[in-house]
A = this chain, B = another copy of it.
Protein backbone atom coordinates (compact mmCIF):
# COMPACT_ATOMS: atom_id res chain seq x y z
CA UNK A 1 0.00 0.00 0.00
CA UNK A 2 1.13 3.53 -0.65
CA UNK A 3 2.66 5.74 1.97
CA UNK A 4 -0.20 8.19 2.18
CA UNK A 5 -3.54 6.58 2.83
CA UNK A 6 -5.47 9.74 3.64
CA UNK A 7 -8.24 10.42 1.13
CA UNK A 8 -10.36 13.51 0.62
CA UNK A 9 -14.02 12.74 0.17
CA UNK A 10 -15.54 15.43 -2.02
CA UNK A 11 -18.41 15.91 0.45
CA UNK A 12 -15.90 17.46 2.86
CA UNK A 13 -15.11 20.35 0.52
CA UNK A 14 -18.63 20.80 -0.74
CA UNK A 15 -18.03 23.98 -2.71
CA UNK A 16 -15.08 22.65 -4.65
CA UNK A 17 -15.80 21.29 -8.10
CA UNK A 18 -14.40 17.90 -8.91
CA UNK A 19 -11.39 19.47 -10.63
CA UNK A 20 -10.78 21.75 -7.65
CA UNK A 21 -11.05 18.88 -5.18
CA UNK A 22 -8.64 16.76 -7.19
CA UNK A 23 -6.19 19.63 -7.55
CA UNK A 24 -6.54 20.53 -3.87
CA UNK A 25 -5.94 16.97 -2.76
CA UNK A 26 -2.91 16.63 -5.01
CA UNK A 27 -1.47 19.96 -3.93
CA UNK A 28 -1.75 18.84 -0.33
CA UNK A 29 0.16 15.67 -1.08
CA UNK A 30 -2.78 13.30 -0.91
CA UNK A 31 -2.92 10.33 -3.23
CA UNK A 32 -6.61 9.50 -3.17
CA UNK A 33 -10.06 11.04 -3.35
CA UNK A 34 -13.50 9.67 -2.54
CA UNK A 35 -16.06 10.88 -5.06
CA UNK A 36 -19.72 11.71 -4.81
CA UNK A 37 -21.82 11.10 -7.85
CA UNK A 38 -23.18 14.65 -7.97
CA UNK A 39 -19.64 16.03 -8.36
CA UNK A 40 -19.00 13.49 -11.09
CA UNK A 41 -22.26 14.29 -12.89
CA UNK A 42 -21.44 17.99 -13.02
CA UNK A 43 -18.56 17.41 -15.39
CA UNK A 44 -19.70 14.14 -16.90
CA UNK A 45 -18.35 10.68 -16.25
CA UNK A 46 -15.64 10.61 -18.89
CA UNK A 47 -14.27 13.99 -17.98
CA UNK A 48 -14.34 13.09 -14.28
CA UNK A 49 -12.40 9.90 -14.95
CA UNK A 50 -9.90 11.87 -17.02
CA UNK A 51 -9.41 14.53 -14.32
CA UNK A 52 -8.66 11.96 -11.63
CA UNK A 53 -6.53 9.81 -13.83
CA UNK A 54 -4.41 12.68 -15.17
CA UNK A 55 -3.78 13.81 -11.60
CA UNK A 56 -2.56 10.32 -10.82
CA UNK A 57 -4.86 9.89 -7.84
CA UNK A 58 -6.64 6.77 -6.65
CA UNK A 59 -10.42 6.84 -6.25
CA UNK A 60 -10.94 5.32 -2.82
CA UNK A 61 -14.72 4.96 -3.20
CA UNK A 62 -17.76 6.23 -5.01
CA UNK A 63 -20.66 7.58 -2.95
CA UNK A 64 -23.27 6.46 -3.32
CA UNK A 65 -25.66 3.79 -4.43
CA UNK A 66 -28.51 2.55 -2.34
CA UNK A 67 -31.98 3.80 -1.45
CA UNK A 68 -33.24 0.32 -2.06
CA UNK A 69 -36.14 0.15 0.36
CA UNK A 70 -39.01 1.08 -1.94
CA UNK A 71 -41.98 -1.26 -1.74
CA UNK A 72 -43.73 -0.34 -4.99
CA UNK A 73 -42.85 -1.71 -8.40
CA UNK A 74 -41.93 1.63 -9.95
CA UNK A 75 -39.77 2.55 -6.96
CA UNK A 76 -37.98 -0.77 -7.11
CA UNK A 77 -37.33 -0.47 -10.84
CA UNK A 78 -36.04 3.08 -10.48
CA UNK A 79 -33.74 2.07 -7.64
CA UNK A 80 -32.28 -0.82 -9.60
CA UNK A 81 -31.72 1.36 -12.64
CA UNK A 82 -30.02 4.06 -10.62
CA UNK A 83 -27.79 1.56 -8.89
CA UNK A 84 -26.76 -0.07 -12.17
CA UNK A 85 -25.73 3.38 -13.35
CA UNK A 86 -23.73 3.88 -10.16
CA UNK A 87 -22.01 0.53 -10.72
CA UNK A 88 -20.99 1.54 -14.24
CA UNK A 89 -19.73 4.87 -12.93
CA UNK A 90 -17.62 3.24 -10.22
CA UNK A 91 -16.05 1.01 -12.84
CA UNK A 92 -15.36 3.91 -15.19
CA UNK A 93 -13.81 5.92 -12.36
CA UNK A 94 -11.48 3.09 -11.45
CA UNK A 95 -12.78 2.14 -8.02
CA UNK A 96 -14.14 -1.20 -6.88
CA UNK A 97 -15.94 0.28 -3.87
CA UNK A 98 -19.48 1.59 -4.31
CA UNK A 99 -20.82 2.80 -0.98
CA UNK A 100 -24.48 1.92 -0.43
CA UNK A 101 -26.72 4.06 1.79
CA UNK A 102 -29.59 1.64 1.70
CA UNK A 103 -32.58 3.88 2.43
CA UNK A 104 -34.99 4.34 5.31
CA UNK A 105 -38.65 3.53 5.69
CA UNK A 106 -40.11 3.87 2.22
CA UNK A 107 -42.32 6.90 2.69
CA UNK A 108 -39.43 8.78 4.20
CA UNK A 109 -36.33 7.94 2.25
CA UNK A 110 -35.57 11.51 1.36
CA UNK A 111 -33.37 13.60 3.64
CA UNK A 112 -35.35 15.44 6.31
CA UNK A 113 -38.49 13.73 5.12
CA UNK A 114 -41.67 14.31 7.06
CA UNK A 115 -42.98 12.12 9.81
CA UNK A 116 -45.05 9.26 8.47
CA UNK A 117 -48.01 8.77 10.76
CA UNK A 118 -49.80 6.78 8.07
CA UNK A 119 -46.80 5.39 6.22
CA UNK A 120 -45.30 1.94 6.06
CA UNK A 121 -43.42 1.44 9.32
CA UNK A 122 -42.45 -2.20 8.92
CA UNK A 123 -38.69 -1.88 9.28
CA UNK A 124 -38.20 -5.64 9.23
CA UNK A 125 -39.83 -5.83 5.79
CA UNK A 126 -37.83 -2.82 4.60
CA UNK A 127 -34.61 -4.59 5.52
CA UNK A 128 -35.72 -7.67 3.62
CA UNK A 129 -36.37 -5.57 0.52
CA UNK A 130 -32.88 -4.09 0.80
CA UNK A 131 -31.47 -7.59 0.99
CA UNK A 132 -33.44 -8.66 -2.06
CA UNK A 133 -32.28 -5.66 -4.12
CA UNK A 134 -28.66 -6.29 -3.14
CA UNK A 135 -29.04 -9.89 -4.29
CA UNK A 136 -30.41 -8.66 -7.62
CA UNK A 137 -27.55 -6.20 -8.09
CA UNK A 138 -24.64 -8.46 -7.18
CA UNK A 139 -24.28 -10.19 -10.57
CA UNK A 140 -24.28 -6.85 -12.38
CA UNK A 141 -21.74 -5.42 -9.95
CA UNK A 142 -19.49 -8.45 -10.38
CA UNK A 143 -19.62 -8.11 -14.17
CA UNK A 144 -18.31 -4.59 -13.70
CA UNK A 145 -15.71 -5.54 -11.10
CA UNK A 146 -17.46 -3.43 -8.47
CA UNK A 147 -18.20 -4.27 -4.85
CA UNK A 148 -21.45 -3.20 -3.18
CA UNK A 149 -20.38 -1.72 0.12
CA UNK A 150 -23.05 -1.73 2.82
CA UNK A 151 -22.83 1.27 5.11
CA UNK A 152 -24.39 1.03 8.54
CA UNK A 153 -25.70 4.49 9.35
CA UNK A 154 -26.04 5.86 12.86
CA UNK A 155 -29.46 4.89 14.23
CA UNK A 156 -30.39 8.56 14.17
CA UNK A 157 -30.93 7.94 10.44
CA UNK A 158 -32.85 4.65 10.70
CA UNK A 159 -36.16 6.31 9.88
CA UNK A 160 -35.25 8.32 6.86
CA UNK A 161 -31.93 7.17 5.40
CA UNK A 162 -30.78 3.66 6.25
CA UNK A 163 -32.47 0.68 7.83
CA UNK A 164 -28.99 -0.82 8.30
CA UNK A 165 -27.68 0.51 11.60
CA UNK A 166 -24.87 -1.73 12.80
CA UNK A 167 -21.82 -3.44 11.36
CA UNK A 168 -23.12 -6.76 12.68
CA UNK A 169 -26.34 -6.31 10.73
CA UNK A 170 -24.45 -5.43 7.54
CA UNK A 171 -22.13 -8.41 7.96
CA UNK A 172 -25.09 -10.70 8.52
CA UNK A 173 -26.68 -9.39 5.32
CA UNK A 174 -23.40 -9.71 3.44
CA UNK A 175 -22.75 -13.24 4.65
CA UNK A 176 -24.38 -15.06 1.76
CA UNK A 177 -22.32 -13.13 -0.78
CA UNK A 178 -18.69 -13.37 -1.69
CA UNK A 179 -16.49 -10.77 0.01
CA UNK A 180 -15.43 -9.54 -3.44
CA UNK A 181 -19.05 -8.67 -4.14
CA UNK A 182 -20.40 -7.26 -0.88
CA UNK A 183 -18.36 -5.36 1.68
CA UNK A 184 -18.91 -2.90 4.52
CA UNK A 185 -17.78 0.58 5.48
CA UNK A 186 -16.41 1.37 8.90
CA UNK A 187 -17.36 5.03 9.32
CA UNK A 188 -16.50 6.25 12.80
CA UNK A 189 -19.37 8.72 12.84
CA UNK A 190 -21.92 5.97 12.40
CA UNK A 191 -20.48 3.19 14.53
CA UNK A 192 -18.40 4.72 17.34
CA UNK A 193 -21.12 4.10 19.96
CA UNK A 194 -21.56 0.39 19.12
CA UNK A 195 -20.80 -1.90 22.07
CA UNK A 196 -19.81 -4.65 19.63
CA UNK A 197 -17.60 -2.42 17.53
CA UNK A 198 -14.27 -4.09 18.22
CA UNK A 199 -15.73 -7.54 17.69
CA UNK A 200 -17.46 -6.55 14.45
CA UNK A 201 -14.46 -4.72 13.01
CA UNK A 202 -12.45 -7.87 13.65
CA UNK A 203 -15.12 -9.98 11.98
CA UNK A 204 -15.32 -7.66 8.99
CA UNK A 205 -11.56 -7.83 8.64
CA UNK A 206 -11.42 -11.59 8.97
CA UNK A 207 -14.08 -11.90 6.28
CA UNK A 208 -12.18 -9.53 3.98
CA UNK A 209 -15.10 -7.14 3.81
CA UNK A 210 -13.67 -3.81 5.01
CA UNK A 211 -13.97 -1.72 1.88
CA UNK A 212 -13.42 1.67 3.44
CA UNK A 213 -12.42 3.26 6.72
CA UNK A 214 -14.02 6.69 6.97
CA UNK A 215 -13.30 9.17 9.70
CA UNK A 216 -15.02 12.20 11.14
CA UNK A 217 -16.18 13.11 14.63
CA UNK A 218 -19.46 13.11 16.56
CA UNK A 219 -20.04 16.62 17.86
CA UNK A 220 -22.71 18.10 20.09
CA UNK A 221 -25.03 19.84 20.13
CA UNK A 222 -26.44 18.42 16.93
CA UNK A 223 -26.83 20.87 14.06
CA UNK A 224 -30.40 21.94 13.22
CA UNK A 225 -30.08 19.60 10.25
CA UNK A 226 -28.76 16.49 11.98
CA UNK A 227 -27.07 15.42 8.75
CA UNK A 228 -24.63 18.29 9.12
CA UNK A 229 -23.46 17.49 12.65
CA UNK A 230 -20.11 16.00 11.73
CA UNK A 231 -16.87 17.48 12.93
CA UNK A 232 -13.18 17.30 12.17
CA UNK A 233 -11.40 14.35 13.74
CA UNK A 234 -10.65 15.35 17.32
CA UNK A 235 -13.39 17.93 17.74
CA UNK A 236 -15.92 15.61 19.33
CA UNK A 237 -16.52 12.44 21.30
CA UNK A 238 -14.89 9.72 19.25
CA UNK A 239 -11.86 7.78 20.43
CA UNK A 240 -9.91 7.67 17.14
CA UNK A 241 -6.72 6.06 18.42
CA UNK A 242 -8.65 3.10 19.79
CA UNK A 243 -10.93 2.54 16.80
CA UNK A 244 -8.07 3.04 14.36
CA UNK A 245 -6.02 0.43 16.21
CA UNK A 246 -8.94 -2.01 15.95
CA UNK A 247 -9.12 -1.43 12.21
CA UNK A 248 -5.36 -1.78 11.85
CA UNK A 249 -5.38 -5.05 13.79
CA UNK A 250 -7.43 -6.59 10.99
CA UNK A 251 -4.68 -5.86 8.48
CA UNK A 252 -6.79 -3.32 6.60
CA UNK A 253 -4.38 -1.40 4.42
CA UNK A 254 -6.72 0.63 2.23
CA UNK A 255 -7.42 4.31 2.08
CA UNK A 256 -8.83 6.32 4.95
CA UNK A 257 -11.41 8.85 3.83
CA UNK A 258 -12.43 12.01 5.56
CA UNK A 259 -16.09 12.66 4.87
CA UNK A 260 -17.57 15.58 6.78
CA UNK A 261 -20.93 17.27 6.38
CA UNK A 262 -20.77 20.53 8.30
CA UNK A 263 -21.92 23.97 7.20
CA UNK A 264 -19.10 25.76 9.06
CA UNK A 265 -16.45 23.55 7.53
CA UNK A 266 -18.04 23.95 4.11
CA UNK A 267 -17.76 27.71 4.63
CA UNK A 268 -14.00 27.42 5.21
CA UNK A 269 -11.57 27.63 2.27
CA UNK A 270 -10.96 24.13 0.97
CA UNK A 271 -7.20 24.40 1.37
CA UNK A 272 -7.61 25.10 5.06
CA UNK A 273 -10.02 22.19 5.48
CA UNK A 274 -7.55 19.83 3.85
CA UNK A 275 -4.75 21.11 6.09
CA UNK A 276 -6.86 20.52 9.19
CA UNK A 277 -7.68 17.03 7.92
CA UNK A 278 -4.00 16.29 7.49
CA UNK A 279 -3.06 17.58 10.93
CA UNK A 280 -5.74 15.59 12.71
CA UNK A 281 -4.93 12.48 10.72
CA UNK A 282 -1.26 12.85 11.58
CA UNK A 283 -1.92 13.19 15.31
CA UNK A 284 -4.94 10.99 16.00
CA UNK A 285 -5.06 8.34 13.30
CA UNK A 286 -1.79 7.62 11.49
CA UNK A 287 0.23 6.77 14.63
CA UNK A 288 -2.25 4.00 15.45
CA UNK A 289 -2.18 2.30 12.07
Which stretch of A12-20, A73-81, A84-92, A154-162 is in the interface?
A: A154-162
Among A43-51, A52-60, A216-224, A257-265, the stretch that binds chain B is A216-224
Q: Are A239 and B159 in contact (CB under 8 A)?
A: no
Contact B155 A112 (CB under 8 A): no
Tell me whether B115 and A219 are in contact (CB under 8 A).
yes
**Contact A220 B112, CB 8 Å, known A165-B193, A166-B195, A238-B121:** yes
**Size band of the A side of the interface?**
35 or more
Tell me which residues across on chain B come within 8 A of A113, comparing CB atoms.
220
- Asked whether B114 lies within 8 Å of A220 as measured between CB atoms, the reply is yes
- Whether A123 pairs with B239 at a CB distance below 8 angstroms is yes
Q: How far is the CB of A229 from chain B (nearest CB, A)?
A: 10
Tell me, yes or no, whether A237 is within 8 Å of chain B by CB: yes
Q: Besides the contacts A121-B237, A158-B193, what 4 more A-B pairs have beta carbons closer than 8 Å?
A: A117-B236, A158-B192, A168-B195, A224-B224
Q: List the B residue with the shortest CB-CB distance to A170.
A: B195
- Mark A residues whose CB is within 8 Å of B: 105, 108, 112-117, 121-124, 127, 154-156, 158-160, 164-166, 168-169, 172, 192-196, 198, 218-222, 224-226, 231, 234-239, 242
Enumerate chain B residues within 8 angstroms of A122, measured Cβ to Cβ. Answer: 239, 242
Q: Which of B159, B164, B172, B198 contacts A220 (CB 8 A)?
A: B159
A selection of 8 A-B contacts at a CB cut-off of 8 Å is: A114-B220, A116-B236, A117-B234, A117-B236, A124-B242, A156-B222, A160-B237, A172-B195
